[in-house]
Amino acid sequence: MNESHRIIEVKTIGDKNLFLKFSDGISGTFNFEDFFSYKGILAPLQDQEFFKKVTIIDGTISWPDECDFNPDVLYSIITSEKIYVDGELVFDPLLKKNAWLSKT
């Protein structure tokens, strides 16, 4: 994890919107449903009351069932910056739910 991408503040705003503030001062809001589906471990997040239980643990957002997210991905969503690994584009936040890219 990039240390500047540590989340220091999270708030739920309305229905499924999260406000995030990072340790470098960058902040913004995104709609969770634009990027993630309620499948598998994410299924409980469909319930708005459970969704509101979001907290910060070790610099990223987390829910009581220990569901957490890579803060670098969340930073990418907030800033619209693409993520590259070894020169290959692997995450493009402008594609929303289709943001994860692969060579297959």
pTM of the full structure: 0.90
Low-confidence ranges of the chain (pLDDT < 70): 1, 102-104
pLDDT, position 80: 97
pLDDT, position 1: 61
Q: Report the CATH number that the domain containing residue 27 is assigned in CATH.
A: 3.30.2020.10
pLDDT, position 104: 46
Residue for token digits 């987390």?
62
Domain encompassing residue 94:
3-98
Answer yes or no: is 104 within a domain: no
Answer yes or no: is 103 within a domain: no
Task: Please list the alpha-helical segments (H only) found in the chain.
Answer: 32-35, 48-51, 71-79
Answer yes or no: is 17 within a domain: yes
Residue for token digits 């619209």?
80
Nearest partner of 26 among 44, 43, 40, 9, judged by Cα = 9
Answer yes or no: is 35 within a domain: yes
Which residues lie closer than 8 Å to 99 by C-beta, 6 or more apart? 35, 77, 91, 92, 93
Answer yes or no: is 39 within a domain: yes
Answer yes or no: is 13 within a domain: yes
Mapped onto helix, strand or coil, the DSSP state of residue 89 is: strand
The total number of structural domains in the chain stands at: 1
* CB distance 60 to 68 below 8 Å: yes
